[in-house]
């Protein structure tokens, strides 16, 4: 089971050229970009680690792709995503977000069912990757 997060989650993984095209689209719309990474991609994990600072002053997608590739070198077995922010509404709103790197092996999730009073049923997803300590979750 592949992690599906972000704008293009049901498409095949993007090539570097396609990532650069999306980054340029964001830049052309005035959306600053940032790169984030994690080894816990649970959908409710909103606190990914940030790679450097947001890129406010870039005018060329080559700079964004450089930062993506540097993050890939440092964290090859982590999930890495690219975020674009739109501040037109007076707050930083995520306008575009998609994965640009994933581990070779994705162990997936287990679905836990919990029955409550009456007919209440709750489901919780539990990532198999969390069975290992942080930093050791996806290969070496």
With bands split at pLDDT 50, 70 and 90, how would you rate the model's confidence at 92? Answer: confident
Measured between alpha carbons, how far is 79 from 64 in angstroms, rounded to an integer? Answer: 17
For the chain, domains (ranges, CATH) are 16-105 (3.30.190.10)
Q: Provide the 8-state DSSP code for 57.
A: S
pLDDT tens readout for residues 52-80: 999 998 999 999 999 999 999 999 989 99
Least confident stretch, 3-12, 19-28, 56-65, 114-123: 3-12
Paired strand residues for 125: 111
| Distances 61 to 8, 66, 82, 127 between C-alpha atoms, Å | 18, 9, 12, 33
Residue 139 has pLDDT above 70, yes or no: no
């Amino acid at each position: 089971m592949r992690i599906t997060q972000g704008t293009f989650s049901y498409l095949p993984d993007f090539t570097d050229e396609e990532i650069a095209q999306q980054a340029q689209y964001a830049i052309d719309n005035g959306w600053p970009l940032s790169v984030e990474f994690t080894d816990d991609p649970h959908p409710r994990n909103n606190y990914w680690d940030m790679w450097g600072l947001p890129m406010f002053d870039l005018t060329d997608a080559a700079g964004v792709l450089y930062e993506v590739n540097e993050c890939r070198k440092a964290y090859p077995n982590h999930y890495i995503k690219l975020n674009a922010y739109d501040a037109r509404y007076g707050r930083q709103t995520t306008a575009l977000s998609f994965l640009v790197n994933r581990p070779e092996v994705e162990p997936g999730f287990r679905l836990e069912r919990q029955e409550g009073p009456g007919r209440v049923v709750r489901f919780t997803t539990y990532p198999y990757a969390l069975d290992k300590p942080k930093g050791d979750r996806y290969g070496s």
